[in-house]
Amino acid sequence: MKKLEGRAAVVTGAASGIGLAVAEALTAEGAAVLMTDLDADALGRAAASLRADRRRVEALPLDVTDAAAVAAAADAAVTRFGGLHIAVNNAGIVNRGLAWELSLDDWQRVLAVDLWGVIHGVAAFVPRILATGEEGHVVNVASMAAVNPVERLGPYTVAKHGVLGLSDVLRADLFAVGAPVGVSVVMPGATRTGMNPQGTVEPGAVAANIVDAIRRDRPYVFTDGHSTGSVRRRLEAILSARDQVITS
């Protein structure tokens, strides 16, 4: 998608961090953005700031764990902008603890937002993008945890691995039906956000990579050099395991 001016987008988790940076980057390119977030007050402030800079944005409080609410947000984007071309499934939360000590509620809480929230986004946003008959793009924000498991991050890691797999399947499905819709899965490193104040990567750098991924249809989007060695060693270990198969 070379041209972003005049396109319509929806961004979840847009009140702060990566989501807000993506909304800023897309509107700077001339796109209209429906900003959504669970925190209605923070969302209103963020949207007002962009409007003050003459950006075309609308704000809608949204709980991505509610499938019906996500579908309504998709309809709202179409109603307000006349269509939908870009979806950025970004909303996420995190918790920490040993995998066997975390409660089932702890697991369900993270999976509901970080995995089911993306599933709800795919189910709601993709049909609206397809309905335009024009070029579109879906961006699913995962994490380095999708390719580099870290101790005490079980639910988060499981969810982000799921987002990676979902993105790959969605890309294959769209290709199979000949749809002009790209899919990018984003794997930021330690980004400085409310979830990780000590992060070393700025949200703006992640957003710049996302905009570039939409333009150039990058399927896998790394935004920094975080954990490069660990990721390479893991992938090499998986590949080398093929040589250990017992066939008789």
Active-site residue list = 156
**Can you read off the two tokens belonging to residue 76?**
């709202």
User: What secondary structure, in 3-state letters, does 106-126 show?
Assistant: HHHHHHHHHCHHHHHHHHHHH
- Name residue, tokens 């024009």: 134
DSSP state of 146: G
* Rounded Cα gap, residues 98 and 100, in angstroms: 6
* Rounded Cα gap, residues 23 and 72, in angstroms: 20
* Rounded Cα gap, residues 32 and 81, in angstroms: 7
Q: Are 121 and 141 in contact (CB under 8 A)?
A: no
Terminal C-alpha separation, the chain: 50
